[in-house]
A and B are shown apart, each in its own frame.
Chain A
């Protein structure tokens, strides 16, 4: 049952082969037993899940089901969930019980999806290995000595280990795509503004975007169909209709032009990963696409620009955590300044504090032009590179990450080497484009991700390409041994 796709589960639920309560109970048991060693969940919401499953069963019986009704999923612990602890992977919010549901959570609940719990993540989504979580590192189901990537590492590990049918993630610089690549699943970061950010704890507001993490492109299309859409409560929500993501999956790829980013295939790319991604390019060619070379000459500046823009926005967003209205408060504060400083330094981990300080420095008097303004100009150069590339092709393809999953602890003390995990993903966030990671052939037994990048609001085309690739290959079906 745990290996079934969303479409298969949906059919089984509607056909009466299994009830949502039975399925939910089974998955909860899997989380507690098979999945226990992964530490992929921060909170398991057993009672709530069974109650939601019972409602789903009634809805199915009444013939009012959507494709997600009764399907067990998990939410990254960055999404507010009413009356359920929402920690964002931080000591700061370790006891925070959200008073409302994030829009994305509400939409999936309205569709009838059952929430099994909240998944582990890098603290405030800052990290590429899930090691910055206050609730401990997550292990990669493919090799327990390696990381699952981050920041949506708990969602990735849980989906890869078949502990839930799908999960939500968020992606500010690669936090859906990189963990999807490292755990062998499918992850989609939509166009900026496609999914509502309301109730999604803010990290860098001009970059943050929610998206689905699934085991196939078809499942991602089903999830995104429920998640996407205009929300008046998010001031940067895109006010345009949602495309038919499922309806376009079957389109043939003949004549489609796929651009290969030459800058992403050179130095810094692991040879095994390069060979795997090349095999995925070849498979696309076999499906009738035309491969063309494209260039993103300024992409090399994306990590430097990101480490101004993201920390600047983070230092501003995280100013709200002051120990007064919610979140961690230090013991016996001497005065208000002591309350702020100690509450924040006790509540935030090392990486979050580093980023707050970088952002504070970049925005401080006298440095604005050299850092923030410069980064915004570089951001424009990067977006323009993509615009020119899309004059030559319909979809861009590249590796998702430069290497396969690395060992726990390997980069934990070297921030910059951790940041470079996202060299192929960050440019996409800076430009605001949709990007996706789908499994390529494994390298030395470890998963590799193929990144597909689309033009603005062309999620349907990405899903179409990914689905056709997955019909022709079985790389996405690989299951970690023991799960």
Chain B
């Protein structure tokens, strides 16, 4: 497995990471090494195996559809980089 610079750029975009083009080659090599490790899985015959999504094969609990949370907006927004009048501020999205 060998990831090209284009592959790295595409994955970085999907992950919303800003990868410096100067680092793409070394990053591609590192990721390819990890994917080579991962490829060892191919040695296992898993055609008849049921995938295991969760260690305890448990079902999700349901709870009554009732409001359990109280308003913590102020406390939570204390950690926000930019807020105004109780709203989170981001760069202009719609022109």
Binding site for B on A (CB under 8 A): 95-97, 99, 192-193, 206-207, 232, 235-236, 238-239, 298, 300-301, 303-305, 307-308, 315, 319, 322-329, 333-342, 344-345, 348, 353-354, 356-358, 360-362, 364, 371, 373-381, 383, 415-416, 419, 430-433, 456
A374 in contact with B46 (CB, 8 Å)? yes
B91 in contact with A380 (CB, 8 Å)? no
A432 in contact with B91 (CB, 8 Å)? no
A357 in contact with B37 (CB, 8 Å)? no
Given the known inter-chain contacts A334-B91, A415-B30, please indicate yes or no for A206 contacting B14, CB distance below 8 A: no
A416 in contact with B82 (CB, 8 Å)? no
A377 in contact with B17 (CB, 8 Å)? no
Cα–Cα distance between A300 and B41 once the two chains are bound (Å) = 9
A-B residue pairs, 3 tightest by C-beta:
A432-B55, A376-B51, A329-B81
Given the known inter-chain contacts A380-B50, A432-B55, please indicate yes or no for A416 contacting B34, CB distance below 8 A: yes
A304 in contact with B38 (CB, 8 Å)? yes
Q: Chain A residues near B38: list those with CB within 8 A.
A: 304, 307-308, 358, 362, 371, 375
Q: Chain B residues near A433: list those with CB within 8 A.
A: 55
Q: Chain B residues near A342: list those with CB within 8 A.
A: 18
Distance between B15 CB and nearest chain A CB, rounded to angstroms: 4
Give the residue of A303, A362, A376 whose beta carbon is less than 8 angstroms from that of B53. A376
A-B contact pairs, 28 of them (CB 8 A): A96-B79, A99-B79, A232-B61, A235-B60, A298-B44, A301-B43, A301-B44, A324-B88, A324-B90, A325-B77, A326-B81, A329-B81, A334-B91, A340-B16, A342-B18, A345-B17, A354-B27, A364-B11, A377-B44, A377-B51, A380-B49, A380-B50, A380-B51, A383-B52, A419-B34, A431-B55, A432-B55, A433-B55
B91 in contact with A416 (CB, 8 Å)? no
A192 in contact with B31 (CB, 8 Å)? no
B34 in contact with A415 (CB, 8 Å)? yes
**B40 at the A interface (CB under 8 A):** yes
Cα–Cα distance between A379 and B17 once the two chains are bound (Å) = 29
B16 in contact with A344 (CB, 8 Å)? yes
Which of B18, B72, B75 has most chain A Cβ within 10 Å? B18
A377 in contact with B19 (CB, 8 Å)? no
Cα–Cα distance between A328 and B44 once the two chains are bound (Å) = 42
Cα–Cα distance between A329 and B92 once the two chains are bound (Å) = 15
Distance between B6 CB and nearest chain A CB, rounded to angstroms: 13
Q: Chain B residues near A354: list those with CB within 8 A.
A: 27, 30-31, 34
Distance between A81 CB and nearest chain B CB, rounded to angstroms: 14
Q: Chain A residues near B19: list those with CB within 8 A.
A: 345
Give the residue of A99, A337, A356 whose beta carbon is less than 8 angstroms from that of B15. A356
Q: Chain B residues near A319: list those with CB within 8 A.
A: 16
Distance between B18 CB and nearest chain A CB, rounded to angstroms: 4
Q: In this complex, what residue of B is CB-closest to A357?
A: B11
Q: In this complex, what residue of B is CB-closest to A209?
A: B55
Q: Chain B residues near A315: list those with CB within 8 A.
A: 15
Q: In this complex, what residue of A is CB-closest to B93?
A: A336
A324 in contact with B79 (CB, 8 Å)? no
B51 in contact with A373 (CB, 8 Å)? yes
Q: Chain B residues near A364: list those with CB within 8 A.
A: 11, 14
B52 in contact with A380 (CB, 8 Å)? yes
Distance between B87 CB and nearest chain A CB, rounded to angstroms: 11
Distance between B78 CB and nearest chain A CB, rounded to angstroms: 7
Cα–Cα distance between A341 and B72 once the two chains are bound (Å) = 28
Q: Chain B residues near A337: list those with CB within 8 A.
A: 16
Cα–Cα distance between A348 and B42 once the two chains are bound (Å) = 31
Which of B37, B61, B93 has most chain A Cβ within 10 Å? B37
A358 in contact with B31 (CB, 8 Å)? yes
**B56 at the A interface (CB under 8 A):** yes
Other A-B contacts than A301-B43, A307-B37, 13 sampled, CB-CB below 8 A, are A301-B41, A305-B41, A307-B38, A325-B77, A357-B12, A357-B31, A364-B14, A371-B38, A376-B53, A377-B44, A379-B52, A381-B46, A416-B33
B16 in contact with A377 (CB, 8 Å)? no
Cα–Cα distance between A466 and B46 once the two chains are bound (Å) = 36
Cα–Cα distance between A348 and B19 once the two chains are bound (Å) = 12
Q: Mark B1-42, 1 if CB is under 8 A from A, else 0.
A: 000000010011011111100000001001101110111111
